[in-house]
Structure 1
């Protein structure tokens, strides 16, 4: 069998749009007097592939027909019908019905079928960026704004919001679960209440291992929608050079005092004098150590 692909043959192309999961019927109308002596076929052409014969009116031609469970053809009086059940994105193609009779080919019907995903009622997910580095012990709330258009909602129930983190220190994402939409703050953006903006928050006490990118994910109507992500950088406690020097000097002084007390104990000293020096050593040790420790304490960021 020969297929013809001249542009003049497709001058009457009909465009048909369907959503994923819908059933589609394409009808090829013919004259009964011509069909009695001719062969009718439905052919599909997918971009980049060879034409597929989906159905034919004569049984002897069945060897050339591509058998697909979801696609059937049926000859009726005056028509040759092609039915596609539960369409998928892969069904987007050019479908044409042609008649072969007396060594002639007549194109009876040409349809371009476009199968698209249903539009979601979630129109946008925006996460607020984290501009400043955080420190262990800081309290931080990550926020995620979800925009809804309920005129496009096709399923019952409320969405569920999840948070998860990806970072170089973990092989798998860390998931934080929220409880449905209980922590949301919503604002209606239209008089008909069809447009709504909801803000969800994740409260965290920052630890040193919390660096990474945090994503807000919304599960609704069998799909999952992701936000743009918010990067969190956690800085560790950095000791300044002056604090290290103070601690080093303190250790040297303590070592010198220990040596001095030990050296004095080798002479003829009274027990009370030795106890006085020991008490003085303890007092100096505590004073120097506390002073050095205060110098080493990191500053805390105050969140507004």
Structure 2
């Protein structure tokens, strides 16, 4: 296995043993494609160079060389050096070449706070911290910061804001802060994500869950009357008005 960064030059070699009728070939196999012939030569010494803008094959002392000029991401694949002799074919060398694309200096994205609870009409303030490591950076592309919201009933996050060039950003040697503030209503509930686009990639933060609380509903008090019955004296039996007046609530319960 050989790993290189994009735009680097790569040289692969395989042994070349002398045989008058032997032939050597470099082939490439990329997933989803037919094998590709890159160049060939005889086993005996031959001062011949096969060259394109991207590949060069030639003989070296006891070797057969494949040179790849300015590697690209799509050069990732299996490279085989093959020797044929009459009806026999021998694999002399196989190399898995991995070409890595340009890397951003961003090491992590942190959002704060992890959650927030606000009422309709209030403002919520979110912060996105972008941590960088300048030693990792292999591309010169400046990054852009975007905000997305994923609602509970949405199948895809919705775009809500992009920071412009004039955004107030507090810089240190390895950290930059992006602040986002919004006055919310009930429909603004959801998870807010900070996304950073750099070097052809999009990296997301851990998200902030924003909960919109409704106005406090008036608490209701429920009362359940319980009636007690007592014996009525002979003097009160004919006095219906007096009996009604004596009836009271004996049990009242409150529910919050």
Task: Assess same fold via TM > 0.5.
Answer: yes
How many residues are aligned here?
A: 210
Structure 1 residues 139 and 81, CA gap change in structure 2 (3 angstroms) = same
Structure 2 unaligned residues grouped into runs of 5+: 42-51, 222-256
> Offset at 1:211?
0.8
1:213 pairs with one of 185, 191, 196: 191
From the two aligned structures, give the one with the greater helix fraction. Answer: 1
TM-score (norm 2): 0.65
Seen in structure 2, the aligned counterparts of structure 1 residues 120 and 158 have a Cα distance that, compared at 3 Å, is: closer
**CA distance, structure 1, for counterparts of residue 216 and residue 200 of structure 2:** 47
TM-score relative to the length of structure 1 = 0.56
Can you list the C-alpha shifts for 1:48-79, whole angstroms capped at 9, x where unaligned? x8993534537xxxxxxxxxx98645344655
Taking only aligned residues, the RMSD between alpha carbons, in angstroms, comes to 3.5
| Aligned-pair CA distance for 1:208 | 1.9
- Does the 8 Å contact 1:144/1:201 carry over to 2? yes
In structure 1, what is the equivalent of residue 241 of structure 2?
none
- Taking the aligned partners of 1:234 and 1:73, their CA distance within structure 2 comes to 64
CA-CA distance at 1:164 after TM superposition: 1.8
Q: Give the CA deviation at 1:131.
A: 3.3
The correspondence for 1:110, drawn from 94, 98, 108, is 94
Q: Confirm or deny: 8 A CA contact 2:54 2:70 kept in the other structure.
A: no
Shift of residue 125, structure 1, vs aligned partner: 0.3
Alignment of 1:92-171 (within 5 A): 92-156=76-140, 158-168=142-152
Which ranges in structure 1 are unaligned for 5 or more consecutive residues?
1-14, 59-68, 189-195, 244-304
| Paired residues of 1:147 and 1:198 also in contact (CA < 8 A) | yes
Whether 1:173 and 2:158 are equivalent positions in the alignment is: yes
For residue 135 of structure 2, give the secondary structure of its aligned residue in structure 1. Answer: helix
Of the structure 1 ranges 22-31 and 215-224, higher mean CA displacement relative to structure 2 is found in 22-31
Return the match for 1:28 from 1, 14, 31: 14
Give the Cα separation in 1 of the matches to 2:77 and 2:139: 29
